[in-house]
């Protein structure tokens, strides 16, 4: 794979990356190298299907392609048949119920968990500055709330413009230049809505032409330059990808994290969503060498009876499985990966069940809170390491 110097087109990104690196690295930004095929061009996921049909079909049935969908011609988005998402009544319930798909520039999510809507003015509908009324306060649909209780009021007092800062992890080939939405300047653009094949493997034009494995990256760690160049922090040490290697944890972690630091953010008694890196970084599993793809097939879904889990707990922890005495039929996941994180809403009536499984894995069996005093982060100190409470 050809080496290429990484340059930043946007001064703001360069400055931000400098501050991230300056205290943790002696390598100047201008000489950071990678083995990534960054001189190649993006060709789109559909081009990959010509040779990789099975992988493509698995990906189409997963959640990654639907992280962001552009709306064109006032036509509603479509999702796989198994996705329960209430899209047939989105426009009847969004805001005051007077909207049509012609008012919408794109949908964030919609495959599971939740959906938000970007208006043709570039604002997330119902947030401060949005040209579109939310009337009843309905601007986010939480799927586990159901058709009657899923609609909530998302950040009505905050301006939420759907620009590069938001969509860089929702799309493929993101760039701060230009604008993805006609008539709205300065949003930035991308080559494909959703996380496509090239979002993880890098631009594919060279590979599509040569059909050589040498011309595509198995793991394209630099998919999000401003995220990855600064590194991800683990126990006070900044982790950066090996330019000669395939650091899958780093690739996944550039989006499945929240603060790029040890602190695991929380709110309302739940871990915040997209913190799988933060949680795994505090666990012995990552320390022992497990990667995201040890347990996950990244092309497949993990919900709606998908086959995205390729290794279960018992394959490594056979002794624990053999000696478990839980007569109530509790599984490993019930206690070690409960729904202690929340993306959209809680599930059930207990109030202790979120909608995302935690990746903390460890349990501290006492009555103390797993969060710090103000509830803004998971507690992680000498007396109590980051771990789950039995309450979940």
pLDDT value of position 262? 67
What's the pLDDT score for residue 144?
Answer: 83
In a shared domain, residues 278 and 235: no
Locate all alpha helices (DSSP H) within the chain, ordered by sequence: 11-22, 45-48, 53-60, 90-93, 146-149, 164-167, 197-201, 205-210, 225-228, 248-253, 276-281, 284-287, 292-295, 318-323, 332-336
Number of residues that this document lists for the chain: 392
Token pair of 110 as six digits: 């919609």
**Final residue in a domain of this structure, among 218, 238, 253:** 253
Claim to verify: residue 202 and residue 249 sit in the same structural domain: yes
Does residue 168 lie within any of the structural domains?
A: no
d(CA 361, CA 59): 27
Instruction: Give yes or no: residues 57 and 145 share one domain.
Output: no
Contact 285, 392 (CB under 8 A): no
Question: 370 and 248 in one domain?
Answer: no
- Residue 11 sits in the same domain as residue 109: no
Among 229, 253, 277, the domain boundary falls at 253
Residues 85 and 149 in one domain: yes
- Residues 192-210 as b or e (16 or more Cβ within 10 Å = b): bbbbbbbbbbbbbbbbbee
Do 198 and 210 lie in one domain? The reply is yes
pLDDT at position 36 is 44
- Asked, for residue 183, whether it belongs to a domain, the answer is no
CB atoms within 10 A of CB 224: 16
Residues 122-166 have pLDDT tens digits of 999 999 999 887 766 689 999 887 666 688 889 888 999 999 999
Those residues of the chain that have pLDDT short of 50 are 1-37
Domain encompassing residue 80: 68-162
pLDDT at 146: 66
| Alpha carbon distance 228, 324 (integer Å) | 41
Distance (Å, whole) CA 261 – CA 327:
40
Give the pLDDT confidence of 225-254 residue by residue, as tens digits.
565 556 676 666 777 766 667 889 888 988
The answer to whether residue 180 is domain-embedded is no
Residues 16 and 147 in one domain: no
Between the alpha carbon of residue 70 and those of residues 8, 65, 197, 209, 223, the distances in Å are 26, 11, 18, 28, 21
Nearest to 264 by CA among 377, 364, 375: 377
Residue 28 and residue 80 share a domain: no
Q: Are 364 and 262 in the same domain?
A: yes
How many Cβ atoms are within 10 Å of 243's Cβ, its own excluded?
A: 16
Same domain for 24 and 73? no
* Residue 176 located in a structural domain: no
> How many Cβ atoms are within 10 Å of 359's Cβ, its own excluded?
25
Contacts for 123-126 with beta carbons within 8 Å, 24 or more apart?
123/159, 123/160, 123/161, 123/162, 124/154, 124/155, 124/160, 124/161, 124/162, 125/94, 125/95, 125/99, 126/95, 126/153, 126/154, 126/155, 126/156
CA-CA distance, 174 to 156, in Å (whole number)?
27
Pick the closest to residue 224 from 258, 249, 194, 199 (CA basis).
199
Answer whether residue 75 is part of any domain: yes
pLDDT at 234: 66
Domain membership of residue 210 (yes or no) is yes
In a domain, 188, yes or no: no
Of the residues 253, 270, 285, the one at which a domain ends: 253
Q: Where are the alpha helices (DSSP H) in 49-89?
A: 53-60
- What does pTM read for this prediction? 0.85
Residue 184 lies in a domain: no
Q: Count Cβ neighbours within 10 Å for each residue of 328-344 and write b for 16 or more, e otherwise.
A: eeeebeeebbbbbbbbb
Residues 262 and 247 in one domain: no
The count of structural domains within the chain is 3
């Amino acid at each position: 794979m050809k080496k290429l110097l990484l340059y930043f087109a946007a001064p703001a990104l360069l400055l931000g990356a400098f501050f991230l690196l300056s205290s943790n690295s002696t390598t100047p930004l201008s000489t950071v190298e990678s083995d990534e095929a960054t001189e190649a061009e993006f060709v789109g996921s559909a081009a990959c299907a010509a040779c990789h049909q099975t992988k493509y079909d698995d990906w189409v049935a997963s959640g990654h392609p639907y992280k962001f969908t552009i709306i064109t011609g006032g036509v509603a988005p479509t999702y796989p048949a198994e996705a329960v998402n209430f899209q047939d009544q989105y426009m009847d319930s969004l805001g005051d119920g007077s909207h049509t798909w012609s008012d919408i520039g794109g949908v964030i999510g919609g495959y599971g968990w939740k959906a938000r809507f970007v208006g043709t003015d570039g604002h997330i509908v119902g947030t401060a500055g949005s040209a579109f009324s939310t009337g009843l306060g309905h601007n986010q649909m939480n799927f586990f709330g159901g058709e009657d209780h899923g609609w909530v009021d998302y950040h009505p007092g905050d301006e939420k413009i759907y620009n590069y800062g938001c969509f860089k992890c929702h799309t493929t080939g993101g760039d701060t230049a230009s604008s993805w939405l006609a008539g709205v300047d300065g949003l930035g653009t991308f080559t494909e809505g959703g996380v496509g094949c090239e979002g993880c493997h890098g631009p594919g034009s060279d590979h599509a032409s040569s059909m050589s494995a040498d011309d595509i990256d198995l793991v394209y760690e630099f998919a999000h330059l401003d995220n990855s160049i600064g590194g991800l922090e683990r126990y006070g040490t900044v982790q950066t990808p090996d330019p000669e290697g395939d650091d899958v944890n780093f690739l996944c972690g550039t989006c499945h994290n929240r603060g790029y630091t040890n602190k695991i953010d929380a709110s309302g008694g739940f871990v915040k969503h997209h913190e799988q890196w933060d949680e795994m970084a505090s666990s012995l599993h990552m320390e022992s060498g497990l990667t995201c793809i040890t347990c996950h097939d990244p092309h497949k879904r993990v919900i709606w009876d998908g086959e995205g889990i390729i290794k279960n707990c018992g394959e490594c922890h056979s002794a624990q499985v053999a000696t478990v005495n839980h007569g109530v039929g509790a599984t490993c996941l019930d206690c070690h990966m409960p729904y202690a994180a929340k993306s959209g809403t809680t599930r059930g009536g207990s109030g202790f069940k979120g909608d995302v499984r935690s990746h903390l894995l460890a349990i501290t069996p006492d009555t103390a809170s797993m969060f710090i005093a103000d509830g803004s982060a998971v507690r992680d100190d000498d007396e109590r390491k980051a771990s789950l409470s039995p309450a979940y």
